[in-house]
Amino acid sequence: MAISLIRCNRLTSPVILASQSITLTDTGMTIDANTEKLAYKYYPTTTSPITGIDLYLTPTGAVTGVNFQIQVETDSSDVPSGTVLGSATPEFAGPSVGGFIGLKTLAVNTGNLTLNQPVWVVISRSSGASLDASNYIRMARIYGYPVFSMNEKVRHYNGTNWTTTTITSSPILLIIKHADGTYVGLPINSSPTTPTNASNIYGTARQGLKMKYGSKVILRGIQFRIGIAGSPNTLEVKVYEGSTLKYSETLLLTSLVANTTASIYFASPVLLASNTNIYIVFSQVANGGDSNNLYRIMIYDIVSAYMEAIYSPDVRFIYGTGDDPTTYTIETTEVAVIIPVFDDPAIDLDEGAGGGNSNLWGMIR
C-alpha cells in the first residue's frame, strides 16, 4: 500500500481531497430558530489554548440584524456540556453573503487543552432580529466521505436537545486559532476550480508545486487533478532539485480525463536532497499547445491568512515560464491538488542519524 505523506501534522488538508466538493445544503447544519445552535467537535492538535474561530456561513433571507456568538464548551457523552472554556466571542452580526465571517476572538481564551480530549465549538443566536424558516444561517462542509478524517462531527441543538437531529460527519469549513499562532482547519472558499493568477500550461508556461523535506526523499509518483481544454500535447511532469532536473515522465492525453484525479509514476526516480527546495513541474512535451489546447492544475481557493493550516511555509503552488522553477511565482491564495506519492517510507524518506526535521504530509492512498 502506497503512502502519500501530505501533512501528517495537520488536522485536515484540502490537497488530499482531490475529488471532494463543497456543499451548502446540509439541513442538519441550519439555525432557523432563536433557540437552536450548531456545534463542531474538535480534537485538539496542540495543548495551546484556543483564542479565535472563523467559519464559513451561508445566509438565507435577511440575517444581518441577527447577532451571534461563538464559544467553546467541554464534551459530555458526545454532546456539548454547557460548560464554557474561557468566555464567548463578542456578538457579531449575521453575514449578508456566504463566506468566511472573519476571525472572531474569544473574550477569554479557553486555557490549555488536553490532547485526545475533545471540545465543542458552539455558535448560537445571542440577540437582535429573530431567525425563522425564511431567515437562517447554515454551515458549509466537504461533500461526500473524505479521504482523510479526524472524527469530525457537527451537532444541531433543536431547542430541546443535541441528539434528535442526525449528526453531520464530514469536515466543515472552519478555522481554529491557537495561542501558539497555529491555525487548524479547512479555509476553503470553493470547490476545486481553475487557477486565478497562473497562466495555463502551454508553450513555455508551467504550473507546479514547491516543497522541502528534512530528509532525503524519493518521489515515486504524483497524484493530481487536472483541467484540459482542446487537444494539448502529451503532458510532462518533471521533478527538480533546485534548478536541476532530476527525472521526468510523460502521460498521454488519452490517459487523462478532464477535472478528475490522475496519477503518474516515475520509471527511474532517484534520492533527492534534504533541506533543499524540490519542485514538481507540469508542462506540455516540446512546449506544445496554445490558448485553445492546454492543461491547468485544479486548485482550491482559500483564505490566504490561514495558508499554513494547509501548507507548511516551504510548500506552495507555483507557476512561471521556462525550465528554471526557482524563478517561478509563489501563489499565496490557492492550494494545488498535487499529491506526491511515496512507496516505502523506510526507503523513500532516507536520512542518517542527525538528519533534519520535516513537516511531512499524509494520507493513505
pLDDT the model gives residue 11: 32
pLDDT the model gives residue 284: 98
pLDDT in tens, 136-171: 999 998 875 444 455 679 999 999 999 999 999 888
The verdict on 248 and 108 lying in the same domain is: no
The verdict on 165 and 243 lying in the same domain is: no
The verdict on 166 and 217 lying in the same domain is: no
Average pLDDT value for residue range 264-268: 95
Share of the chain above pLDDT 90, in %: 74
The verdict on 211 and 353 lying in the same domain is: yes
In a domain, 41, yes or no: yes
The verdict on 300 and 154 lying in the same domain is: no
Length of the chain: 365
Confidence of residue 10 (pLDDT cuts 50, 70, 90): very low
pLDDT at 350 over 90: no
Diameter of the chain by CA atoms? 66
pLDDT at 2 over 60: no
pLDDT the model gives residue 9: 34
Average pLDDT value for residue range 106-121: 97
- Higher pLDDT: 192 or 249? It is 249
- The domain tally of the chain equals 2
Average pLDDT value for residue range 78-90: 98
Distance CA 288, CA 295 (A): 11
Distance CA 316, CA 307 (A): 9
pLDDT the model gives residue 170: 82
- Higher pLDDT: 332 or 14? It is 332
CATH code for position 52: 2.60.120
The verdict on 126 and 237 lying in the same domain is: no
Distance CA 10, CA 43 (A): 12
Q: How far is CA 147 from the centre of its chain?
A: 12
Residue among 151, 156, 187 nearest 169 (CA): 151
Please say whether the beta carbons of 18 and 357 come within 8 A.
no
The verdict on 26 and 172 lying in the same domain is: yes
Question: What is the DSSP annotation of 147-207?
Answer: SS----EEEEE-SS-SSSSPPB-S-BSEEEEETTS-EEE--B-SSSB--SSSPPBSTTEEE
pLDDT the model gives residue 6: 40
Confidence of residue 20 (pLDDT cuts 50, 70, 90): low
Q: Which three cell numbers stand for residue 340?
A: 506526491
Share of the chain above pLDDT 70, in %: 88
Domain that holds residue 245: 205-364
pLDDT the model gives residue 203: 98
Q: Which positions ≥6 away from 116 have C-beta within 8 Å?
A: 43
Please say whether the beta carbons of 358 and 216 come within 8 A.
no
pLDDT in tens, 287-343: 999 999 999 999 999 999 999 888 888 999 999 999 999 999 999 999 998 988 888
The verdict on 55 and 134 lying in the same domain is: yes
- Higher pLDDT: 230 or 365? It is 230
pLDDT in tens, 62-76: 999 999 999 999 999
